[in-house]
């Protein structure tokens, strides 16, 4: 997701949460006539120039920082968004220790300042939809599929015969770049449609069995960029995402890295991952 589209998507969500009711439905990231009308109404209510353009003045009025001790509908909105990334907060409008811990974990998972305050940058990442939880465009790491697609336990399951990870998700699930780098489409009888990602962290990430790829030529991507859609192409016995990590000339077990991304803790380098112990 591009930065411009992320901002448009965030505007749609933030407009909803500043309209008293807490937003909990889907957004499409499209700044259409309906969104423009809401922008104009919001601008008029705040005494701003009602031009339907979300510039610096309007954005400043849309965003409200919330932190430990805050209360109200904006806190409820933050709790709703955090829960979309797997946190299980009570949506009570009270920014207590649990909400602060969830905020810090989310910020760490996106590589942004982990201060526990939901300010403009955190709002953008919470509402941009990038990574769906895969872990968001612009962050330092992302899960390879939306966070909501699988429980934590799936990320360290052993592979059937060599270091790799098979994630059991249905056809058409978004697949995301785990880290920034250069993604190159691949196609072979074993892998099927897939993507090879030369990561900025020195690792080489191979994605297999896509039903389709997000692009057909090599391009630079950031963590959380959608690079394809899962499927069952190549040598596959059912829909899933196959992920391999290679570093230092050897295949590495992905589990430790995936769990760290999931938990929002320090992510190990590819070269530090084990070369055995993750297969039957």
Helix-, strand-, coil-residue percentages of the chain, each rounded to 5 = 35, 20, 45
Q: How confident is the model at residue 71 (pLDDT cuts 50, 70, 90)?
A: very high
Question: How far is 256 from 253, CA to CA, in rounded Å?
Answer: 7
What pTM does this model have?
0.56
Per-residue pLDDT, averaged over 211-223, amounts to 92
For 100-117, what is each residue's pLDDT tens digit?
A: 999 998 887 766 788 999
Q: How far is CA 243 from CA 139, 146, 178, 205, in A?
A: 20, 14, 10, 7
- 147-272 and 3-128 share a CATH fold: no
Q: How confident is the model at residue 212 (pLDDT cuts 50, 70, 90)?
A: very high
More confident residue, 263 or 275: 275
Per-residue pLDDT, averaged over 134-159, amounts to 79
For 245-269, what is each residue's pLDDT tens digit?
A: 999 999 999 999 999 888 877 889 9
**Domain boundaries defined on the chain:** 3-128, 147-272
- Classify domain 3-128 at the CATH topology level: Muramoyl-pentapeptide Carboxypeptidase; domain 1 (1.10.101)
Q: Is the pLDDT of residue 220 over 70?
A: yes
Per-residue pLDDT, averaged over 77-101, amounts to 88
Q: Which CATH superfamily is domain 147-272 in?
A: Glucose Permease (Domain IIA) (2.70.70.10)
Per-residue pLDDT, averaged over 114-141, amounts to 65
Least confident window among 17-31, 63-77, 83-97, 242-256: 17-31
């Amino acid at each position: 997701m591009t930065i411009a589209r992320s901002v448009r998507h965030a505007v749609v969500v933030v407009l909803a949460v500043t309209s008293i009711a807490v937003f909990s439905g889907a957004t499409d990231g499209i700044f259409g006539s309906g969104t423009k009308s809401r922008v104009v109404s919001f601008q008029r209510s705040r005494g701003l120039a009602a031009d339907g353009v979300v510039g610096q003045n309007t954005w400043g009025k849309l965003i409200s920082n919330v932190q430990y001790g805050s209360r109200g509908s904006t806190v409820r909105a933050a709790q709703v968004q955090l829960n979309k990334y797997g946190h299980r907060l009570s949506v009570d409008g009270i920014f207590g220790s649990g909400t602060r811990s969830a905020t810090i974990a989310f910020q760490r998972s996106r590589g942004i300042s982990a201060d526990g305050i939901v300010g403009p940058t955190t709002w953008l990442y919470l509402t941009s939809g990038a990574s769906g939880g895969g872990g968001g465009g612009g962050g330092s790491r992302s899960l390879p599929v939306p966070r909501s697609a699988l429980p934590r336990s799936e990320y360290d399951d052993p592979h059937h015969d060599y270091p790799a990870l098979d994630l059991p998700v249905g056809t058409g699930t978004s697949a995301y770049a785990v880290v920034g780098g250069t993604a190159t489409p691949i196609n072979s009888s074993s892998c099927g449609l897939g993507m090879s990602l030369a990561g900025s962290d020195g690792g080489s990430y191979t994605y297999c069995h896509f039903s389709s790829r997000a692009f057909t030529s090599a391009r630079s991507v950031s963590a959380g960029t959608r690079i394809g859609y899962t499927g069952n192409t190549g040598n596959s016995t059912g829909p899933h995402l196959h992920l391999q990590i290679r570093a230092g000339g050897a295949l590495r077990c992905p589990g430790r890295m995936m769990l760290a991304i999931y938990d929002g803790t320090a992510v190990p380098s590819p070269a530090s991952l084990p070369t055995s112990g993750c297969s039957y």
